[in-house]
Amino acid sequence: MSQPSHKKRIGAEAIEAKGWLGAHKWLIMRRLSQLSILALFMIGPLAGIWIVKGNLNYSYTLNVLPLTDPYVALQSLMAGHVPEKLGLIGVAIAVAFYFLVGGRVYCSWVCPINMVTDAAGWLRDRLGIKGASSLSAKTRYWILGMTLVASAVTGVVLWELINPVSMLHRGLIFGLGSAWMVVLTIFLFDLFVMTRGWCGRLCPVGAFYGLLGKWSPVRISASKRSACNDCMDCFEVCPEPQVIRPALKGEGKGVGPVILAANCTNCGRCIDVCSKDVFNFGLRSNNPVPTASIGVQPGAK
């Protein structure tokens, strides 16, 4: 296997400019978020300290805070069943939260499969694996629609029969069984078969959360896009690279700097790997549309 030694590693410029920590700030925070959520769930069964009971489908924190996965609840609803009061409150809280911070925040800050597919993506980059088959990023919406229709037809919460996200998360808390094989399959699929295949093209959970946060106010903005030196690191590192272009390159087309695409996961890796600090977290409303072709100078925030 040819080592891509000639190729510059993603984020090398950013590490030079900001130091390793500065170039991995959001990644570290994201891993901390993912791992501490997992730890909160696991500390109960492992150490008998019951802060959170349940799993990502429904959890009950400190016997006060219910959280329900709205996608699972929706499938159950399609199958003709309405949750009890706590379950409904849980749906409301989760929907409100992800509506505010961005639906796919679930994917990049909570979902345990994200670490698996990120690892596959990282290894893919290190090994220089290329030329894999591809599938439209819209496939997930078709699968999402299918799971809802088929839940209604079969009367079963359909995606939960095979959902690798809940299999892994539930498995880590309640006993893995053969769920590790499903997780390994996802890893190998992303590594050898399809770049960002699972999270970026197939997973209906991500598709659902993407739609849920379509109008979310918390967004990443390429507010200093005029400083972009076209190093392409953000495109390389982004799990949904198609979301960046309109915002980053839209200055001449009268498009504002905020990334509005629903599939941006607010993971913040673009902020990390940019040596010019083009990106930052901001609000959807703070989206000055450039006038004419010159455009306004991006205001320092």
Partner 1 sequence: MTATPPKNSAARRQFLFDSAKMVCGVGMLGLGLGLYAKQSKALPALALRPPGALPESDFLGACIRCGLCVRDCPYNTLELAKPEAPVATGTPYFTARNIPCEMCDDIPCVKACPTKALDHGLTDINKAKMGVAVLIDHETCLNFLGLRCDVCYRVCPVIDKAITLDMVPNQRTGRHAMFLPTVHSEHCTGCGKCEKSCVLEEAAIRVLPPKLAKGELGKHYRLGWEEQKKAGHSLIDESKMIDLPDRLPEGARLPGHYDPASGQTEAMRGMSGQEVVTIPSLPPGLGGKP
3-class secondary-structure state, position 63: coil
Distance CA 159, CA 207 (A): 13
Instruction: Please select the residue that binds partner 1; options are 154, 229, 242, 297, rule is CB under 8 A.
Output: 154
Instruction: Please select the residue that binds partner 1; options are 83, 241, 246, 288, rule is CB under 8 A.
Output: 83
Instruction: Please select the residue that binds partner 1; options are 27, 173, 203, 267, rule is CB under 8 A.
Output: 173
Q: Is 129 exposed, middle or buried (0-12, 13-18, 19+ CB in 10 A)?
A: middle
Instruction: Please select the residue that binds partner 1; options are 29, 79, 95, 261, rule is CB under 8 A.
Output: 79
209 is a contact residue toward partner 1 (CB under 8 A): no
66 is a contact residue toward partner 1 (CB under 8 A): yes
Q: Which of residues 24-63 bind partner 1 (CB under 8 A)?
A: 44, 50, 53-55, 57-60
Distance of CA 158 to the CA centre of its chain: 22
Q: Which of residues 250-269 bind partner 1 (CB under 8 A)?
A: none
- 187-208 burial string, b = 16+ CB within 10 Å, else e? bebbbeebbbbbbbbbbbbbbb
CB of 153 to partner 1, least distance (A): 7
Task: Tell me the residue type at 115.
Answer: M
Q: What are phi and psi of 179, to 5 degrees?
A: -65, -25
187 is a contact residue toward partner 1 (CB under 8 A): no
Name which of 183 and 278 has its Cβ closer to partner 1: 183
The region of 23-31, 101-109, 151-159, 293-301 touching partner 1 under the rule CB under 8 A is 151-159
Which stretches of the chain are DSSP H helices?
12-22, 25-47, 70-78, 85-101, 105, 113-127, 139-154, 164-174, 179-188, 197, 204-212, 233-237, 244-248, 269-273
Binding residues for partner 1, total number by CB under 8 A: 58
Q: Which residues share a beta bridge with 59?
A: 54, 67
CB of 225 to partner 1, least distance (A): 31
Name which of 22 and 145 has its Cβ closer to partner 1: 145
286 is a contact residue toward partner 1 (CB under 8 A): no
What string of H, E and C letters represents the secondary structure of 159-185? HHHCCHHHHHHHHHHHCCCCHHHHHHH
CB of 57 to partner 1, least distance (A): 5
82 is a contact residue toward partner 1 (CB under 8 A): yes
242 is a contact residue toward partner 1 (CB under 8 A): no
Instruction: Please select the residue that binds partner 1; options are 11, 24, 76, 255, rule is CB under 8 A.
Output: 76
Contacting residues toward partner 1, per CB under 8 A: 44, 50, 53-55, 57-60, 66, 68-69, 72-73, 76, 79-84, 86-87, 90, 136, 138-139, 142-143, 145-147, 149-151, 153-162, 166-167, 170-171, 173-179, 181-182
